[in-house]
Chains A and B, each alone.
Chain A
Amino acid sequence: MTEAPLLSVRNLKQHYPVTKGLLGREVERVRAVDGVDFDLRPGETLGLVGESGCGKSTVAETTLRLEDPTDGAIRFDGEDVAGYEGDALKEYRRRVQLVFQDPNATFDPRMSVGEAVGEPLLIHGMGDPDRRRAIVEDLLERVGLSAGDADRYPHEFSGGQKQRIALARSLVLDPDLLVADEPVSGLDVSVQASVLELMGDLQETFDLSILFISHDMSVVREFCDRVAVMYLGEIVERGPVEAVFEDPQHPYTRALMDAIPDLGTRDGPPPEPLSGDVPDPADPPDGCRFHTRCPAVIPPEDLDLDRAVWRAVYDFRLALERHSFDREALAERVGATDDETLRTGARETFDVPAELSDPDAESAVSTAIDALLAGDEEAAVDRLGAAFVSPCERTEPKPVGVDRKRDAACLRLEDRVEVEAD
């Protein structure tokens, strides 16, 4: 590692306690960000991708100290930011700027564009309105608008133009780092390209570092040097953008890549998407947070089942642990009440085959189903819980280096277990 990183985040956590009652007793905590590490080098663009609710926007706000983190260290240019107050904080807020997603909400409708772009200058003490005006007009020209636009109001501009104005505003204080939170997500496709091109030019000309947050992987692929993939408050994979996208190492990254519609014709139908929804960040799964949906979840050592079948059986066990078994609903569904049909029906609901190839697994499943039909849910859960334990639910994976430039947090990498290609 040659150059020291401009921004260095370690073990960043942002928890939101949910309280109840007058005394504010904490009932649960939403773990929006739960231990995030990354570095951003000078002049680099780091992409932070993930689905909604993964915590990436929270990372942006916490990095800028728009919210104070629950835990963790944020170092900017070598210094710890968490302790900044007063003037030091203000200087930090000059050197690091934020660009938002929604160009419509990011401007005060009562202020002209010139006033909006010049506002940061005013905040940082430039009292002379003529001087501010000159700087603003010059900057507007450089983002593809004209000096005369300074007197117009935000609603007179298109989405793409507003985003250019937002970029101008973010540059006016001559920052070192831009945090761009979904900067092109609200724009038309053809407009995205020109705003991205502008951002790229500005970055090059003014030697900016950019933390680029997006859910759109194609945009990240186009624009960023490196990328970090987030899931449920944690970073699961990190590395140069092409490497990560071409050859993802973490099953979640792979699922994301598979889900991106490909413009060209695939050979055959698109791969099966991930099932289920992202779990509640207030109650994240134990061990590896992705284990509840991971197509590559590690089976117990001596289990001999097809990967898809193992996943189905595992889902069966997890579902029973979370929700109670409703015999009547099942009966209604299969249209019968006799045990035999119910047994098959229960298996079908979870895509578990009628007979499993592994005899131990088969006995566990059928015993559990019998227990369910007999009304003893606890026994069923215990039986399945004993037979189908994955190391992924026990241990939280730590990032493992895939090569010198990338890492991913997956137990399969630690065990050097072969990750099956789909």
Chain B
Amino acid sequence: MTGAETTDEPLFRSVDWENETGRTWSPSPSTWFALAGLAAIGLLFAYDLLVVPPNQPVVGGWDAPIIDWLLLVSLVLFFGYALLPLASQDRTRRRLWAQVRNRPAVAASVAWLVVVLLLGTVGYAILGKPTKHLTIPYQPPAFLTRDPFLPGRCVGAVVGGQCHGTLQHPLGTNVYGEDVAKLIVSGMRVAVTLSLVTATILVSIATLVGTVAGFVGGRVDAILTGYVDFQRTVPAFLVYVIFAFVTKPSLLVLIVVFGFLNWGGIAHVVRSEVKAVREAGYVRAARSAGAGRLHVLRHHVLPNVSGGIAVATTRQIATLILIEAAISYLELNDVMVRSWGEIAASGMGQWFPLNWWVVAGPGLALVFTVVAVSVVGDAIRDVFDPRGVP
């Protein structure tokens, strides 16, 4: 059992190292997927730019504002670099499944986020914007009644002077008669856009800066860290508000401001994890076997850093969703963007709390989503924690 008592020549000795070919640069599956996806988007964009006349929708009713292109790109990158690796690696898939199976909170959160993602993208594309029905404002949710003071005729049955809700509008309608359920789906769309696009910007910049700072070290590290420390003092919220006043408020501006100002915390996490990995025994082992920096970066540093990135990013996103709600409440948002915050805030006018379902619906969606993002973030941290049991 000590091995090496065999008579035949071991395989590793049969390698003719003099004549082995050199470089083997093969992109990972994630990169293939990303390239394919981006190519497809590129084609679509070219089509829009060159073929479709200006101000005309590209396909269906979609007239492809910038923010939607950004969403598409973010979706491709999210699937390629976040979901695909999680699903394809045996180990992480098993551990993620264990988390879902053993912790109901995680299961519920993942389920909710999947719903949000699907409805926010595909669902919205199918359902489209909610339509206004000005004659039927403030319909109550199904099986519930509303206060007689509220204006507008009742779609459902009126029994004992009370208007009843119908399944036609299961969560009721708002002041414009827009179906609250559809509004929530709109909100999902906004949440998905906000989260994914901002996350893409945050992760890209933070990973780049954090990795360079942690890997290169020295003066470069000192300069970058100094800048990050400075940037973290700049309140993105305030910057957005200023922009909102100076130009007009827009979701894109919010995304850009947060994306480009709030990556500092994540970069910090990346940097310390990169530093830790750089010192790790297995990196020394790889280097002593001849690995160059690029190999170490790709095979050891980035995979080991991804857990930290995921956790830090989910935290930022959860915060951002709440901030967007706050901005809506302060009426500093683009009212054409039907985020949950906007819908809820618009319901808090003169009729509140009689029209409580207009606030509760999107409000709950907001709460679920923020909590779900945090719970999933923690679950991801546990998945990546090497001390856990597989």
Contact = CB atoms under 8 A, between A and B. Distances in A.
Contacts of A405: none
Nearest to A167: B3
Interface string A100-124: 1010111111111000100111111
A66 B284 contact: yes
Contacts of B22: 125
Contact of A105 (B21, B281, B300, B303): B281
Contacts of B303: 108, 110
B288 A66 contact: yes
Given A105-B280, A123-B286, A125-B22, A134 B11 contact: yes
Interface residues of B, number: 37
- Counting chain A CB atoms within 10 Å of each CB, the highest count among B15, B23, B289, B386 belongs to B289
B246 interface: no
A90 B26 CA distance: 20
Contacts, number: 129
A174 B13 contact: yes
Contacts of A138: 10-12
Contacts of A112: 91
B10 A139 contact: yes
B2 A98 contact: no
Contacts of B55: none
Contacts of A116: 282
Interface string A122-160: 111111000000110011011110000000010100000
Interface string B119-159: 00000000000000000000000000000000000000000
Contacts of A348: none
Nearest to A103: B281
Contacts of A169: 285, 289
Contacts of B102: none
A124 B17 contact: yes
Interface string B275-299: 0000011101111111100010001
Contacts of A174: 12-13, 15, 17
Contacts of B295: 122-123
Given A94-B290, A194-B2, A127 B12 contact: no
Interface stretch (A35-43, A196-204, A272-280, A297-305): A196-204
15 contacts: A66-B284, A97-B288, A108-B299, A108-B300, A110-B303, A124-B17, A125-B24, A138-B12, A143-B4, A144-B3, A171-B12, A172-B12, A194-B2, A197-B2, A202-B4
Interchain residue pairs A-B with the least CB separation, the first 5: A105-B281, A127-B24, A93-B290, A109-B386, A142-B3
Given A119-B291, A124-B289, A139-B10, 16 more contacts: A66-B284, A94-B289, A97-B289, A102-B281, A108-B303, A109-B386, A110-B303, A119-B286, A123-B289, A123-B290, A138-B10, A142-B4, A166-B285, A169-B285, A174-B13, A174-B17
